[in-house]
A and B are shown apart, each in its own frame.
Chain A
């Protein structure tokens, strides 16, 4: 590699402890990680290995016990709660495994919510493009309760994309979906990376989901144990088997 990669997010010596005394759990144990811009990064590992924790601390949803983390150039581990909120608002999009949408808002309102909050205008062309690709055009006026699980996830992805954040974090976005809807969703996320230069970091359990990514990070006991470029489902599965998964 000759060109220097732009980093969308990074962490140095990231440590996260939960609880105190006997009940103390070290969820992250001195992690160093870089998420390259315009890349699709997958994070894998056994249950309880710290994947979600890593995602949350990288995104500034939760704070580290020790170590530092950055979003782009911005060090966030030292920012105030209000500032972190602002960074999240302006630079980050989220897709969770479940409960992604505000029940009282329609699909369209949910999608434009981040823009409404920060008072930015919706780019209609971009909006239409996303909606078209995600196949949500005829579902925009529906409330979340009136959408299927897959549709809800797609709305969440649309919401994450519409504000053109620098970075999207997704925690098992296809976990609740059947394999076909899951594949559609992941395919779209990959397109967003390839065609629009979107940066995405995604936690997943599913080797075939990981195969959509450019790079897979393997976590075990709060540490990064391995990394794989240009993964395929089989290679990921093999690696997971080695880890005793």
Chain B
């Protein structure tokens, strides 16, 4: 059987090429992502290994459960005093121990001019430390000039300095919380062996300078070099005895592994994300596979009948077709995996050229092979199953029939199943969106899948009357070509529906995402429009320095500045976010969804829907525990939007819980009658000297920026869906190619009775357009419908209005028409080229 399957694939590979391409594209998507995340992981593993290479033991604050470990570059709080360092140095087996001060700051490019442009002021973070002078502990080797031996000096890494425009002898500007400091560049260092810093800038200064800039003489970590021959783990546990509570000693190796593991956890989400999109692409691809195998089974009905006649059992026939599918799956997956690998190589080379080497060696990881082959094989086999079962029921008598056409089964069964699935899908989505179920996304996801299949089945029924209806129209416009095209669509409603459905899914997802993002944009725009604030204050690097807030508040023309800090506190054993605001001014600057106004807070706390659902009510007492202290507060009001912060307290309570908490956002309200444009210039230049990284942005600008970001998101998702859409268009071409082959005799006959080549081509093109437009319209209806349902379900998160992305829908329609024409090109050419005599003599 296997030989027969291989023979048959080899005998007529053309009809399987597009099917294989569809599978390969989906697999390539997964393979490329796996390769990239693997390389990225490798790069970071290498980085972490190098960071901790010279350090035998690290003494650092112990990680807490609620701590947000997303930011690998943030400096931890300084907790080790000089006395702690001395205690560590005194531990047996410690050869050398050095305290590290990391400065929260940013090396500004040479001649930096603050522009207020959020994008331009960003960039890779800076890592600034005190210089130990020991290459093992610094993990950096001096390659040029000298180390920072005297106060007022700095060294930078050999890539960072030229990138920012500095040469040895220049004064380097460093922006911190408290202002801009200038240090003289005296040398260049190389980090580890290859200076692979993932784009960050590295700098070292004297301990005194570092302490001044950091605002504390305490150390964040202590790096320990152990004496030769001692057990590092033992030294680590000995050190644990002498360090303050809440801190720990861990070997460098363990620390590197821990960090790498955290990063791998994040990368795993990227992989899952990619698998999701690969699955979408392959799901679309599966429609093509179903169609291809259906058509092939139809075309080979006589061949299968013959095999049955000479003693092949139905089961063997089924196995044979599934084997054929497997052969295609293996070939296509191999191509896809290689394609993905090459794509990843290209992409990493591109990234390296643009922004430095952040990838380790790009190799093809096992996951890529594993997922590639299993996704490819699974989808192909599942899709080929129905046609294979159909083939196994072919009776031997079919071999003796004259022509091979799909039997004219009525669509009733299909409609019943389709209707049931559609209902089921809608039901699951409604349950997921509106009922309180544990995992709503599972319901919505599964529901959407079932709905799509249901609609695909029903679409065959819709197509029949549509084709009848179009027939009159097409006949009037295109005469015979139009009539024949309409007939063909009606003749194979299943096939046409499946083909259109592949496109439908792609368009549906696009329409869904664009409905969602369009609504998000309108919500964001609305929110900023209702704001009373004249400017939003943002920092491009970390928190907003309190000095900047004070400075803005003291400027002429400024009525007041209100700021918001967000921190984590423990309530009832779990971590929650707490926003600290000024109740007197917050409501004047921004239209918060609170009840009553914040000035009714009265030293108490407002709670958001999440906390309300825990059963907490106005008048109750809640006990919050922050990093610096705890407070028991009376609930005095409600905050009615989910997702901003769980608890809202005033500044005094915030200070009590968190000490000097970080300010993440601030708003400036100007005096009446002050011209905002003039004020912006005045305030920006006031900030420029000491706080160059703090930017002002009007609500309009911010809305625009947010909208740009949302558009970017839409762009990324659309690009990821691109593979699915390409596959869908291939699907249209594939179906047409196969049906041209199937209709070879008929087309020959048409040509024989005088139909011109041009007409044949047009007939195919009309068929293609009808399927493409039909699929696109269905997809839009479904996508917008699901998008609206989703937005409504997210009302709690502040989605107050639904916006339909008309402009995008128009663009999708134009693209669909183009796709229809493109997909018809090759089949139309093939049909028109057919030699009349050969076509008539053509056998199966």
Residues of A within 8 A of B (CB): 52, 56, 59, 61-62, 81-82, 85-86, 88-90, 92-94, 96, 99-105, 109, 113-114, 116-118, 143, 159, 171
Contact = CB atoms under 8 A, between A and B. Distances in A.
B11 A82 contact: no
Interface string B371-398: 0000000000000000000000001110
B311 A96 contact: no
Interface string B299-326: 0001100111111111110000000000
B314 A61 contact: no
Given A61-B397, A62-B397, A103 B11 contact: yes
B348 to A, nearest CB: 43
B652 interface: no
Given A99-B844, A102-B307, A117 B7 contact: no
B4 interface: yes
Contact of A159 (B310, B396, B397): B310
Nearest to A105: B7
Contacts of B316: 117
B400 A96 contact: yes
B82 interface: no
B307 A88 contact: no
A109 B309 contact: no
Nearest to B307: A102
A181 B314 CA distance: 35
28 contacts: A52-B400, A56-B397, A61-B309, A61-B397, A81-B314, A82-B315, A85-B311, A85-B312, A85-B313, A85-B314, A89-B310, A89-B311, A92-B311, A96-B400, A99-B306, A99-B844, A100-B306, A102-B4, A104-B10, A105-B7, A113-B307, A114-B310, A116-B4, A117-B310, A117-B311, A117-B312, A143-B11, A159-B310
Contacts of B397: 56, 61-62
B399 interface: yes
A81 B397 CA distance: 13
B311 A88 contact: yes
Contacts of B395: 61-62
Given A99-B843, A99-B844, A105 B310 contact: no
B745 to A, nearest CB: 14
Contacts of A52: 400
Interface string B272-314: 0000000000000000000000000000001100111111111
B307 to A, nearest CB: 7
Nearest to B401: A99
Contacts of B8: 102, 104
A94 B310 CA distance: 7
Interface centre among B11, B311, B399 (most CB of A within 10 A): B311
A145 to B, nearest CB: 8
Nearest to A85: B313
Contacts of A56: 397, 400
Interface in B731-759: none
B400 to A, nearest CB: 6
Contacts of B72: none
A198 B400 CA distance: 24
Nearest to A99: B302
A96 B307 contact: no
Contact of B396 (A61, A93, A103): A61
Given A85-B313, A93-B310, A96-B400, 4 more contacts: A82-B313, A99-B302, A99-B844, A102-B307
A113 B397 CA distance: 19
Contacts of A143: 11
B371 to A, nearest CB: 32
A93 B844 CA distance: 23
A100 B7 CA distance: 17
Contact of A86 (B10, B303, B311): B311
A86 B315 CA distance: 12
